[in-house]
Chain A
Amino acid sequence: MTTLDASPTVPEMLSPGGDAERVQDERYTESIALHGDALGRLVRGYESRPDRRQDLLQDIHIALWRSFATFDQRCSLRTWVYRVAHIAATRHIVADRRLRLRELYTLDDVPEPEDPHNPAEDVDRSDSLQRLLSLIDRLKPPDRQVILLYLEDFSADAISEVIGLSPQNVATKIHRIKRLLATLFHAEERS
């Protein structure tokens, strides 16, 4: 796995530090230890191009580190991390000139994935994952956030806290998500 590290020839560019920055560093390190892998998955759900994915991941890390200067602990660290990450990722896709919002769907109007079962074709889990990523790639930001958080095992209430939708609204979206996922993952078992 690649490690992105600062060149040792530029230590003078680092800020002088201090208590506030030390706390900021500690919170950042803790949050990456706990949620670093999840951020990698989140980035896959927002950006399909590998080179741009790395840029987005860097942007999220920087946004996260900067955000800890103002972390007031009124929500949990996990909620904070996901809020910052989804905000940065959403700005990334809204700013993408390639992307037109009207070409994205909500969970209610996204075309139902075709049944992947084909007797002549062996559909395995990685295919399902690719199809899931392609489904996520067609969703509008709020719905994309709901499905990504659902896949990370967030409850409806926790998703609601990160996004700001009512828990009932999130629950309705999750119901739709379950149906879509069932089509993607379990069609071969049904037949």
Chain B
Amino acid sequence: MTTNEENRMEKSAWQSQPLDAPVVSLAFVHHQASRLNKDFRQQKGLMYWALGIMVAAGLVTVFRDPPSDIGPMLYVMRVGILLALAGAVCVVLEMRSRARMLQSRDDVTVTQSLDAYRSELERRRDYYLHSWRWSLLPMLPAALVLIVGGMIYDPHPEMLSHYGLIVVFAVAFTAAGVWDHRRKGHAYQGELDALGTLEHRPRP
């Protein structure tokens, strides 16, 4: 049997395999596409509602009648909560802009599949290497004010050990998260490096 005949056999075996794939109608595609848009709008709406409730709850906490026996700790709490709200707004806005970038990309870019694979790997690498910057840094001032301020001004000295534990757990948790993300980010970079060694077709 010649190589060409062998190739034909392999290809015909592949092409004549029984398929369990359902037939997808145009109406179904319309329906699913509009449902995806609707789901996306609902998720966005839910996110804004959650943010609104958090801001309202935070403001109520800040400005309601304070307990009389906590002294300067009241100001620490107020500043800390306001900073946490501002940080949360920053995080939500950043998430929103990233979701929008992801959403719009599908509609406008159909490129060679290797380019698409590369840009997907780059997106994931950047997410894992840099997400801590936009997800943790905005919350850092609030955490510092609440913890350091609490250590200094909390009227209950027995709480000091609690603050110490919070700091230890927060630092350990953050370090583990950042380390894990960096490890994943470097794995994506490794895959990108391997792609870089392939010879590409010149773009038309």
**Residues of A near any B CB (own CB < 8 A):** 1-7, 10, 13-15, 25, 28-29, 32, 36-37, 39-41, 43-44, 50, 53-54, 57-58, 61-63, 65-67, 69-71, 74, 80, 82-84, 86-87, 90-91, 94, 100-102, 106, 125, 128-129, 132, 140-142, 145, 150-153, 160-169, 178, 181-182, 184-186, 189
22 A-B Cβ contacts within 8 A? Answer: A1-B22, A3-B22, A5-B28, A6-B31, A10-B31, A13-B34, A14-B34, A41-B19, A54-B22, A57-B21, A62-B33, A65-B26, A65-B29, A65-B30, A83-B112, A142-B113, A151-B14, A165-B114, A165-B201, A167-B201, A185-B10, A185-B13
Q: Which residues of B contact A182 (CB under 8 A)?
A: 6
Complex Cα–Cα for A184 and B202 (A): 34
Chain B facing A: main interface SS: helix
Q: How large is the interface on B (under 10, 10 to 19, 20 to 34, 35 or more residues)?
A: 35 or more
- Closest beta carbon of chain B to A49's beta carbon, Å: 12
Q: How many A-B residue pairs have CB under 8 A?
A: 190
**Residues of B near any A CB (own CB < 8 A):** 1, 3, 6-7, 9-11, 13-15, 17, 19-36, 38, 106-108, 110-117, 120-121, 124, 187-188, 190-191, 194-195, 198-202, 204
Chain A facing B: main interface SS: helix
Within 8 Å by CB of B19, from A28, A37, A181, lies A37
Contact at A67–B26, with CB atoms within 8 Å? no
